[in-house]
Amino acid sequence: MDYFAGLDVSVKDTSVCIVDDAGKIHPSRSVTPLAKSVTVRTGGRAVSMENSRLRQAASTAVNVTVGKRGREYLTDREVERLIEAAKQNRSGHRDATAILVAYRHGLRASELVALRWDDIDLATGRLHVRRAKSGDAGVHPISARESRALRKLLREAATSPYVFISERQAPLSVAGYQRMVARAGVAAKFTFLVHSHMLRHACGFKLANDGHDTRAIQAYLGHRSIMSTVRYTALTPNRFKNFWKD
């Protein structure tokens, strides 16, 4: 079996790859074992993924067409399943904490891996969130659960300015984080592809379902336009709660 590293979620309505039962990412169609890379064509865009096991193989490429994804978010319970699955990894505490922080603060992959310890004030329970895509920065409160997890992580990685680091003590890469989330989705036995951006959407839907103000959610997620936020309130089931009474 071939194992391909890399996961692209920039194309909103497509899945780039799937992950097998062993927690390895590979294309949704079988490819030649000589393939050194895979080019995934999605809506006119191409994303290349490197075959991490066959670096020395012949330099060939295979085109893989993938279909549209279904639901783009996870429920609160599904996030907990993902966290529990991530705990079983070799860097289980780091991975589970990364998923928790990304979910609680609606972080994109690039925002999560860029987190530094000087962005976090554990004494006052505050997190300074620097948004990508020209989003508005903000200061979020840190829950007690997050604080405990982060303090433990700090003790384990006190020499790095970055919160989430690899085994080589380098900042965790976007691709590495995305692969970890995808593998955790397989380990949690989800029947659909789980990708890291689902955690940002999960945050938005959870806040909307809890009845929080749309403007407050907009500020929390750093949206420049409220039109990016109303997608969450539009799908909340509470809007239809009293439609039928038996």
Known catalytic residues are: 108, 133, 197, 200, 223, 232
| Residue 7 burial by Cβ neighbours in a 10 Å radius (0-12, 13-18, 19+) | buried
Q: Which of 24, 53, 23, 22 is nearest to 37 (CA)?
A: 53
Nearest to 125 by CA among 107, 149, 146: 146
How far apart CA 25 and CA 204 sit, in angstroms, is 27
Phi, psi of 138 (to 5 degrees): -160, 170
Query: Shortest CA distance to 184 belongs to which of 25, 75, 47, 77?
Result: 25
The answer to whether 87 and 35 are in contact (CB under 8 A) is no
**Residue 54 contacts residue 33 (beta carbons within 8 Å):** yes
User: Residue 4: beta bridge partners?
Assistant: 51
Q: How far apart are CA 207 and CA 41, in angstroms?
A: 34
Which of 108, 71, 75, 106 has its CA nearest to residue 217? Answer: 106
CB atoms within 10 A of CB 234: 9
| Length of the chain as a residue count | 246
The Cα–Cα gap between 113 and 162 comes to 8
